[in-house]
Structure 1
Amino acid sequence: MGSLLFLAFAYLAVGQAAVNRNGAQTAADAAALAAAQDKRDQLAGKWVEEVLDPTQWQDIFDGFAPGLTPSCWRADQLASQNDAHVDGCVPGPLEFEVSVEMDNPVGDSIIPGTEGRYSTESAIAVIEPRCTFELPEEDAGDDVLPQLTCKDRNWDLDPEDLGDLPAPEDLFDVHLAD
């Protein structure tokens, strides 16, 4: 009977650790996605600013635009909403790798040492451009913008009427890496 009771407590301890680990993974996923979405929104804003200069578009779709602000603050914000804190946030041009540690330990159990252990996990979020374009011929003039071919829609942009521009989610997809 004592062995069965010990086994039950051991399963409880393993379950407790698994729940804490799953919470850490959720926090890491949310933090990485939040940072990537912030950068996506900034890149989309830069694209709107530069819509009349299509020579700048490719740099923006590649994740390079002057004046972007760091986005790791969003990772910190989302990690804290999930009872964790960011251990590291590594931005790339079109990705964020975020590692988090839970604020609460695994907890007391019959397994010694778990009361001081904290779950850590990491996640990578990727920003993927959804659109392509071909620059107009040099003799086309300044009043011609390329067609923006996106996954869900093609955008024929008129420099005289820029009222219907793609939203950030039309220009870029944000998802977790495999």
Structure 2
Amino acid sequence: MAACSRRDRGQAFPIYIMMVAGLLFLALAFFAVGKASALRNGSQGAADAAALAAVQEARDDFGVGFYASLPGNMLDAFLDTPFVPPCSAAQRLADANDADPTMCVPAFGYMRDRITVEVEGRKPVDSPVLPGSQNKKAKAKATALIEFRCPNPKAVDFNSDGVQDLFVFTCRNGKILEIAPASPPPWESVSRTLFDVRLVDQ
């Protein structure tokens, strides 16, 4: 009986080793998946922040062109004008979130209202149970919108010369702005009322 018991224990030992190895592999796999998910979430946060920063910078740069479009009632044409998005703010925000921007472009053609930013995280997954993960880095993309909150302004031509002398903006948040193109207020004092910025679904 004793010899049989020792033989059973000897047969069970390799099975025990295999079970432990299997559990260890599963633990490493779960850890790798968790790390990859965390890196993906971090990259998405970096992309979101970078896209918002890019559209905020674009909004801050609208002033001269926006005011110049008013006298000739060319506001719609200005908002539809092709432009190169300012991406220095996106670079700063991506860098602050441990990522590098790989793309910063207008979302649709070259229109002013949306900017898409894609980033790549700097840390690889680097798991021994995931082949090729040593150089696998998380990527994410986000699109942010510059939303005009005060459409259909009322234009006033005081001297009937065909040039609009005053624009009255009635905004969705209930605010009313009066802008005289000949003496416009500082852009920073009105830009956040005229335009909102937000993330949009991909």
Asked which structure has the greater CA Rg, the reply is 2
Q: How many residues align?
A: 174
Is the Cα–Cα contact under 8 Å of residues 85 and 105 in structure 2 kept in the other structure?
no
Instruction: Give 1:119 deviation, angstroms.
Output: 0.9
Alignment match, 1:88: 103
Q: Which moved more, 1:36-45 or 1:8-17?
A: 36-45
Question: What is the root-mean-square deviation of aligned Cα atoms in Å?
Answer: 2.8
Instruction: Quote the Cα distance in structure 1 between the aligned partners of 2:156 and 2:137.
Output: 55
Runs of at least 5 residues in structure 2 that lack an aligned partner in the other structure? 1-18
TM-score (norm 2): 0.72
SS at match of 1:115: helix
- CA positional deviation for 1:98: 1.1
Aligned position for 2:6: none
Q: C-alpha separation between the residues in 1 aligned to 2:36 and 2:176?
A: 49
Cα contact 1:43–1:63 (8 A) shared by 2: no
In structure 1, the residue matched to 2:16 is none
2:58 is the alignment partner of 1:58: no
Distance 1:161 1:41, change over 3 A: closer
Q: Which shows bigger deviation, 137-146 or 12-21?
A: 137-146
Gaps of 5+ in 1: none
1:147-162 to 2 correspondences below 5 Å:
147-152=168-173, 153-157=175-179
Q: Structure 1 residues 104, 29: closer, same or farther in 2, change over 3 A?
A: same
Matches within 5 A, 1:3-42: 3-42=22-61
Are the counterparts in 1 of residues 55 and 114 from structure 2 also a CA contact under 8 Å?
Answer: yes
Identical positions, percent: 36
Shift of the alpha carbon at 1:69? Answer: 6.6
Counterpart for residue 10 of structure 2: none
User: Structure 1 residues 162, 70: CA separation in 2 closer, same or farther (over 3 Å shift)?
Assistant: closer
Q: TM-score, normalised by structure 1?
A: 0.81
Residues 158, 165 of structure 2: 8 Å contact kept: no
Q: Secondary structure at the match of 1:131?
A: coil
Q: Distance in 1 between matches of 2:197 and 2:133?
A: 36
Residues 94-124 of structure 1, C-alpha deviations (whole Å, 9 max, x = no match): 1111111111211234223212101111111
Match of 1:129 among 148, 159, 168: 148
Deviations 1:4-23 (A, max 9, x none): 33222211110000011111
Would the alpha carbon gap of residues 143 and 89 (structure 1) be closer, same or farther in structure 2, given more than 3 Å must change? closer
Given candidates 195, 198, 202, the residue that maps to 1:172 is 195
Bigger mean CA deviation after superposition, 140-149 or 97-106: 140-149
Q: 2:15: which partner in 1? A: none
Cα distance in structure 2, aligned partners of 1:160 and 1:41: 20
Rounded to whole Å, the distance in 1 between the matches of 2:43 and 2:27 is 25
